[in-house]
Amino acid sequence: MNLRVNIAGVELKNPIMTASGTFGSGKDFVDYVDLNRIGCVVVKGVAKTPWPGNQPPRIAEAYGGILNAVGLQNPGVDAFCQDDIPFLRGFDTKIAVNIAGRTIDEYVEVAERLASADVDLLELNISCPNVKEGGVAFGVDPAMAEAVTRAVKAVAGQPLIVKLSPNVTDIAAIARAVEAGGADAVSLINTLLGARIDVHRRAFVLSTKQGGLSGPAIKPVAVRMVYQVARAVHLPIIGMGGIMTGEDAAEFLMAGATAVAVGTANLFKPTATMDILDELITFMQTTGVEDVNTLIGVVK
Amino acid sequence: MNLRVNIAGVELKNPIMTASGTFGSGKDFVDYVDLNRIGCVVVKGVAKTPWPGNQPPRIAEAYGGILNAVGLQNPGVDAFCQDDIPFLRGFDTKIAVNIAGRTIDEYVEVAERLASADVDLLELNISCPNVKEGGVAFGVDPAMAEAVTRAVKAVAGQPLIVKLSPNVTDIAAIARAVEAGGADAVSLINTLLGARIDVHRRAFVLSTKQGGLSGPAIKPVAVRMVYQVARAVHLPIIGMGGIMTGEDAAEFLMAGATAVAVGTANLFKPTATMDILDELITFMQTTGVEDVNTLIGVVK
Amino acid sequence: MCQESKTGRTHCTILSNEPLAEGVRELIFESPAMAASARPGQFVSVYCRHQGQLLPRPISICEIDRDNGRLHLVYACRGKGTREFADYRPGERVDVMGPLGNGFPLGAAGETNLIIGGGVGTPPLVELCKQLPGRKVVAVSFRSDPYLIERLALYGEVLVATRDGSVGVRGNAMKIVEDRGLTGTIFACGPTPMLRAVQAYAARRELPAYLSLEERMGCGFGCCVGCVTKIRDDGEAGFSYRKVCKDGPVFAAEEVIFS
Amino acid sequence: MCQESKTGRTHCTILSNEPLAEGVRELIFESPAMAASARPGQFVSVYCRHQGQLLPRPISICEIDRDNGRLHLVYACRGKGTREFADYRPGERVDVMGPLGNGFPLGAAGETNLIIGGGVGTPPLVELCKQLPGRKVVAVSFRSDPYLIERLALYGEVLVATRDGSVGVRGNAMKIVEDRGLTGTIFACGPTPMLRAVQAYAARRELPAYLSLEERMGCGFGCCVGCVTKIRDDGEAGFSYRKVCKDGPVFAAEEVIFS
Ligand SMILES: Cc1cc2nc3c(=O)[nH]c(=O)nc-3n(C[C@H](O)[C@H](O)[C@H](O)COP(=O)(O)OP(=O)(O)OC[C@H]3O[C@@H](n4cnc5c(N)ncnc54)[C@H](O)[C@@H]3O)c2cc1C
Ligand SMILES: Cc1cc2nc3c(=O)[nH]c(=O)nc-3n(C[C@H](O)[C@H](O)[C@H](O)COP(=O)(O)OP(=O)(O)OC[C@H]3O[C@@H](n4cnc5c(N)ncnc54)[C@H](O)[C@@H]3O)c2cc1C
Ligand SMILES: Cc1cc2nc3c(=O)[nH]c(=O)nc-3n(C[C@H](O)[C@H](O)[C@H](O)COP(=O)(O)O)c2cc1C
Ligand SMILES: Cc1cc2nc3c(=O)[nH]c(=O)nc-3n(C[C@H](O)[C@H](O)[C@H](O)COP(=O)(O)O)c2cc1C
Ligand code: FES
Ligand code: FES
């Protein structure tokens, strides 16, 4: 059985990736997961300098999902290079770095700093709903999305994935724009903007009022968008949004994704990535699929 | 305790409405629900002439929700006036008619036909994702939204609610446009576009591939949008999206809605409207709220 | 005991949930009210405990035990919901709503009736046979492991087919019917290809026939217009979409348009 | 028996789930592995059966019964999750992950220790008192109906306050502490206003103090950076956000910034 897939020239041993921000840099998972079995670890968003993130509460429960307002708390690219790359290089898995920024220049600086670093892929996060300048403006405007992609691509030392926001009228238009800007792949979806009010306290649960909705609740939106984007661009797609089982992973592959990322499921089931990989293998065995690549985009 | 609320001059005995398309015209509910206790029954979408609707399968299960692709099957405005208005007028509840159309002219014709009919409110559906011409183009473009609102308002014999689509980058912009076009109220949200693939059959579950996601899974998106729209326009808001309990209803009121509509919950719990009303009353009692109007927009 | 009320959706106590065949179980639950009003060919909506799965699972009523206030369901463990049901134990509760739909038209019974079933289309035929007047010939088919045969045999001759030929004729129930040229008023429930064959056979032989259809449901009681099927009419299009849950699940064969 | 594995999240068998006071229950479950490694002040994540509610409910370990391989939790029935827990019966299973967090620094024990608790901050103090060396004075407060008092009394003098004055002093535990001018190394767990008062008292009296904090959690084991609290540091901002679940839940009082 072949599980290997190829994202913009980088071969993953299997299509299971982690979704940025839900797996740290993997350190919290070594007790539960064999990191060597993960196709690619996508680390949490990294900015030029340390970001404090938002005030608590940062987490609210939603039906079949969670709302988060972490706000890209991170120790900055230097600390990342020093602490996390050596740790992850101790495992046989690919590394993708999710890049956060407030301006084109900030994104570019992080990419420049990483150009010589020992990582395999960059993921440009132009879709974080949780910081005012977390790229969300870039993610909802095709021209800005193209501009930031072009600028980062010019300095990138690794293939560039651009992560798309679902909070748009026409995600295909954004995908075409980042393709035009030189993206090597796209990943989607980031979280849906949502809010929750505590009716007893008469206040929003999250300190930021609104946050990002993730988890199984958003899966149908994600599958629809992956399908739309697969029809709009010629780039490999990393699909995510509520993946909980191997069949969920297969659903994204069939909709047109080349690989999938497991996000919120990691939070309440630390073995989620392994379980999903095992279930995907079982699904392929019982349905007679020899090569995972034959599932990609098979549903028209 | 006062439960009465006012939507554009129409007084509802309480803020519990039904969401269009999930309650028919109420006939299927008489065994389970006392229609006299519902603030306002919003009937399923009505077009100029009968619409057949989409091929089955029209329903797919999603985590914490459902996907539907009914496609506005309806018997046309004449049959509606003949069969449903007399039935509903047998109860002490307000009637709102959800209007479907493919062109501005079609919307206008239905509104004209209803101008002399014995109904209390019109709800202009410019946001049905399930028919190519089901108004979705009107719902995602501010200029078109304003134009169709203006045209229908010119002939409307009743206050006009415009129902907004959540599948947009900036719902506040659409709300401002329909306010400019003369809308008397807005209702939101309609369903989120989503899709589901049956991985065993390797095909979309719905005949139309994508459909509309509703149910508790979408509630955080709906609450966020109600809050945004409440800050953008001066119109009364009818909030909906995944309301399952009285506290959910209170959450929408606190976010800025004047009334709420119960949708998908009706499907798997036919007493949902009554249960939610009872729970809202209990919530008001235990938290010492004398007038439901004091909850509206209380969270800033 | 069931908490009977106007809720429609009621907590019912499970009395038994035993396997009948590989992947097929019989669930017996208590509900005097449902048992009192149920008719053959009606169904109930069974709800999952898993609160991510909100839709009803429509399951035909297999037997109505009015005396004891019980309903019997027979279901195949297929997807997430029915696999969940398989774990229920006696004494536990399950949410059920029903009875729903119109059931078979008992008044249409002929002198001879041809009862045709396939797989999990078989269960509703048990109560049908119990209540249907006239002579009954029953032709039923299964993938491999037949069930409910003895119960059906109480009411008429039962002819069995299996896809793998392990029991009875190799093939499906319509092969038996065609090979023997059976006639009578037809009542059928089973997979769509079988029902299509029943429709063609009934038309060819000019036999009255009633088909119990399946469709994915949103509500199960008529409000969502989710579960439609094409029914012939005089309109421009030649058909209109009717609800399987409320207008059906049983339709006269000549009205049904399989597409 | 627990199905022990590296899953972290394990099905554990419930042995008992009895009320201790109005709206407060003690849940005892089996897990030799968790009992073997647990320390006072650590917590476990308890998961709901309702699959719409996916987040863990963090509950402190009240008692560790290593001999029998059991953990005791004491929880207040507040929201949807804890109200669901109240219905669990012995023999049923519950998903638990843990032990999580760092617990109280037993090595910091003084000759005299002042143990301060409020409401459902009290439970972890039982195992703390059991294991903490030195003399212990315990001051705890409740809304009205005290619980766990007898167990705490096994390890030291217990002073009780209630908000309504129905038992002991009227007010909260800090009123007792202040009124009596109690001193010692402080270990405290309770609502934020109380912890803020503990922090101020400890600073004024120059007492070492350790506070167990609460925050809403996404994962409970450190991966989501959801459960942060402000901890003083030398950086520009004067603080950084640290994780209650992994860096805490216990922090030295002088480090904590309540905002
Ligand atoms: C009127 C009627 C009577 C039925 N009677 C029986 C019976 O007596 N015994 C029996 O074993 N089965 C019966 N079925 C089929 C049964 O409803 C499905 O097998 C069952 O719903 C599958 O649910 P699941 O959770 O296992 O599958 P999932 O795939 O998890 O279900 C997902 C959704 O699709 C729906 N769905 C899936 N398959 C079908 C289907 N074939 N028909 C309708 N909805 C479906 C489910 O209800 C659910 O809403 C009947 C169907 C209908 C419409
Ligand atoms: C480290 C730690 C130890 C705790 N120990 C205990 C204990 O021993 N006994 C006890 O009764 N309670 C304890 N709590 C509080 C307990 O976690 C909450 O009361 C519980 O999570 C509420 O869940 P719910 O489903 O009833 O409320 P809901 O409002 O339905 O919960 C919704 C979400 O908010 C979270 N949440 C709500 N209130 C709190 C809170 N106060 N703290 C953290 N998260 C919250 C829930 O975990 C859940 O994710 C502890 C909290 C923490 C952080
Ligand atoms: C707690 C949390 C933190 C996240 N942080 C980031 C981040 O730093 N960068 C990013 O691009 N996406 C971030 N995301 C979004 C996820 O990577 C993913 O796109 C989204 O959660 C949908 O997938 P899921 O439903 O499987 O979680 C975060 C999500 C969560 C839940
Ligand atoms: C089966 C179904 C049919 C619907 N039909 C209509 C319709 O005819 N017109 C309309 O404006 N909205 C229609 N809707 C959308 C609902 O009115 C409502 O906006 C949406 O479902 C969100 O609310 P909920 O989550 O409570 O269902 C339909 C929804 C469902 C589930
Ligand atoms: S399932 Fe809703 S109308 Fe039939
Ligand atoms: S709850 Fe996720 S880091 Fe603490």
Residues on B contacting C at a C-beta cutoff of 8 Å = 21-24, 28-29, 31-32, 44, 52-53, 55-61, 63-66, 68, 70, 73, 205, 215-216, 264, 266-271
Nearest Cα to Cα of residue D63 among D111, D17, D26: D26
Do A77 and A46 meet the contact criterion of CB atoms below 8 Å apart?
yes
With left for phi above 0 and alpha for psi between -120 and 50, is residue D89 left, alpha or beta? beta
Domains of chain C as residue ranges with CATH: 3-100 (2.40.30.10), 106-212 (3.40.50.80)
- Alpha-carbon distance A276 to A264, whole Å? 13
ipTM: 0.96
- Alpha-carbon distance B130 to B68, whole Å? 8
| Average pLDDT value for chain C | 94
> Where would I find the beta strands (DSSP E) of chain D?
9-21, 24-30, 43-46, 57-65, 70-76, 93-100, 112-118, 135-142, 157-162, 169-170, 185-189, 209-212, 228-232, 239-243, 250-252, 256-257
C77 known ligand binder: no
Residue D204, judged by CB atoms within 10 A of its CB (0-12, 13-18, 19+), counts as exposed
Query: Which fold would CATH assign to domain A5-49+71-197+213-295?
Result: TIM Barrel (3.20.20)
What is the per-residue pLDDT for B285? 98
Residue D191 touches chain A, beta carbons under 8 Å? no
CA distance B209 to chain A (A): 9
Tell me the mean pLDDT in the region C14-35.
Answer: 96
Residues with CB under 6 A from ligand 6: D 217-220, 222-227, 243, 245-246
Helix (H), strand (E) counts: chain C: 6, 17
Structure tokens at A174: 């954004």
What is the per-residue pLDDT for B127? 79
Q: How many CB pairs under 8 A join A and B?
A: 117
Q: Which residues are bridge partners to C114 per DSSP?
A: C137, C186
Q: Which of B21, B23, B73 has the CB atom closest to C241's CB atom?
A: B73
What is the per-residue pLDDT for A135? 55
DSSP state, residue D207: -
| Known catalytic membership, residue A128 | yes
C235 pLDDT higher than 90: no
Ligand nearest to the CA of B124: 4
What is the per-residue pLDDT for D3? 37
Q: For chain B, give every domain's residue range.
A: 5-49+71-197+213-295
Q: Which residues are bridge partners to A61 per DSSP?
A: A66
D219 known ligand binder: yes
| Residuewise pLDDT in 10s, chain B (300 residues) | 999 999 999 999 999 999 999 999 999 999 999 999 999 999 999 999 999 999 999 999 999 999 999 988 899 999 999 999 999 999 999 999 999 998 999 999 999 999 999 999 999 999 766 555 555 678 899 999 999 999 999 999 999 999 999 999 999 999 999 999 999 999 999 999 999 999 999 999 999 999 999 999 999 999 999 999 999 999 999 999 999 999 999 999 999 999 999 999 999 999 999 999 999 999 999 999 999 999 999 999
- Alpha-carbon distance A58 to A206, whole Å? 6
Do B290 and A193 meet the contact criterion of CB atoms below 8 Å apart?
no
- Alpha-carbon distance A239 to A217, whole Å? 15
Ligand nearest to the CA of A217: 3
Residue C204, judged by CB atoms within 10 A of its CB (0-12, 13-18, 19+), counts as exposed
| Residuewise pLDDT in 10s, chain A (300 residues) | 999 999 999 999 999 999 999 999 999 999 999 999 999 999 999 999 999 999 999 999 999 999 999 988 899 999 999 999 999 999 999 999 999 998 999 999 999 999 999 999 999 999 766 555 555 678 899 999 999 999 999 999 999 999 999 999 999 999 999 999 999 999 999 999 999 999 999 999 999 999 999 999 999 999 999 999 999 999 999 999 999 999 999 999 999 999 999 999 999 999 999 999 999 999 999 999 999 999 999 999
Residue A64 to residue B223, Cβ atoms within 8 A: no
Structure tokens at C213: 């259809």
Catalytic: which of A17, A40, A128, A257? Answer: A128
Residue B203 touches chain A, beta carbons under 8 Å? yes
- Alpha-carbon distance B37 to B3, whole Å? 11
Q: Which of C6, C222, C226 has the CB atom closest to B59's CB atom?
A: C226
- Alpha-carbon distance A39 to A43, whole Å? 13
What is the per-residue pLDDT for B65? 98
Angle formed by the axes of helices A246-255 and A219-232, nearest 10°: 30
Tell me the mean pLDDT in the region C229-257.
Answer: 95
Catalytic: which of B5, B81, B128, B272? Answer: B128
- Alpha-carbon distance B75 to C242, whole Å? 12
Name every chain C residue with its beta carbon within 8 A of the beta carbon of D93.
Answer: none
Structure tokens at B97: 């008619």
Q: Which of C6, C54, C228 has the CB atom closest to B58's CB atom?
A: C228
Nearest Cα to Cα of residue B217 among B19, B71, B67, B72: B67
What is the per-residue pLDDT for A100? 93
- Alpha-carbon distance B27 to B24, whole Å? 7
Q: Cis bond leading into A189, ω under 30°? A: yes
Nearest Cα to Cα of residue C102 among C250, C253, C252: C250
Residue to probe by mutation, ligand 6, list D223, D240, D247, most atoms within 8 Å of CB? D223
Do D116 and D49 meet the contact criterion of CB atoms below 8 Å apart?
no
Structure tokens at B100: 């479907």
Residue B196 touches chain A, beta carbons under 8 Å? yes
Question: Does the CB atom of residue D223 touch ligand 3 within 6 A?
Answer: no
Structural element, H or E, at residue C104: none
What is the per-residue pLDDT for D1? 36
CA distance B224 to chain C (A): 22
Residue B270 to residue C240, Cβ atoms within 8 A: no
DSSP string, chain A: -B--EEETTEEESSSEEE-TTSSTTSGGGTTT--GGG-SEEEPPPB-SS-B--PPSP-EEEETTEEEE-----B--HHHHHHHHHHHHHTSSSEEEEEE--SSHHHHHHHHHHHHTSS-SEEEEE--BTTSTTSBHHHHH-HHHHHHHHHHHHHH-SS-EEEEPPS-SS-HHHHHHHHHHTT-SEEEE--PEEEE-EETTTTEESBTTBEEEEESGGGHHHHHHHHHHHHHH-SS-EEEESS--SHHHHHHHHHHT-SEEEE-THHHH-TTHHHHHHHHHHHHHHHTT-SBGGGGTT---
Q: Cis bond leading into C249, ω under 30°? A: yes
Question: Does the CB atom of residue C60 touch ligand 1 within 6 A?
Answer: yes
Tokens 């989409």 sit on residue: B54
Residue A221 to residue B203, Cβ atoms within 8 A: no
Residue to probe by mutation, ligand 3, list A138, A162, A191, most atoms within 8 Å of CB? A191
Do A240 and A270 meet the contact criterion of CB atoms below 8 Å apart?
no
Interface test with A, best of D217, D219, D242, D247 (most A CBs within 10 A): D219
CA distance B214 to chain A (A): 10
C245 known ligand binder: yes
Q: Which residues are bridge partners to D93 per DSSP?
A: D13
A267 CA: nearest ligand 6 atom: 2
Residue type, C129: C
Structure tokens at A88: 């992850």
B-proximal residues of C, 106-135, CB under 8 Å:
none
CA distance D49 to chain C (A): 8
The phi and psi torsions of A40 (rounded to 5 degrees) equal -160, 130
Tokens 């039962």 sit on residue: C158
End-to-end CA distance of chain C: give it in Å, rounded: 43
Q: Point out the residues of chain D with pLDDT beneath 50.
A: 1-7
Residue C241 touches chain B, beta carbons under 8 Å? yes
**Within a 13 Å sphere around the CA of B50, how many CA atoms are in the beta-carbon half?**
9
Residue type, D105: P
C100 pLDDT higher than 50: yes
Q: CA geometry: angle at B289 spanning B283 and B290, to 5°?
A: 125
Helices (H), D5-78: 32-37
Q: What's the sign of the alpha-carbon dihedral D226, D228, D233, D234?
A: positive
- Alpha-carbon distance B14 to B125, whole Å? 23
C3 pLDDT higher than 60: no
Classified as helix, coil or strand, D170 is strand
- Alpha-carbon distance B197 to A252, whole Å? 9
Contact residues for B289 (Cβ-Cβ < 8 A; gap 6+): B1, B283, B295
Name every chain B residue with its beta carbon within 8 A of the beta carbon of A244.
Answer: 63
Do C47 and C57 meet the contact criterion of CB atoms below 8 Å apart?
yes
How far from chain centre, in Å, is Cα B162? 9
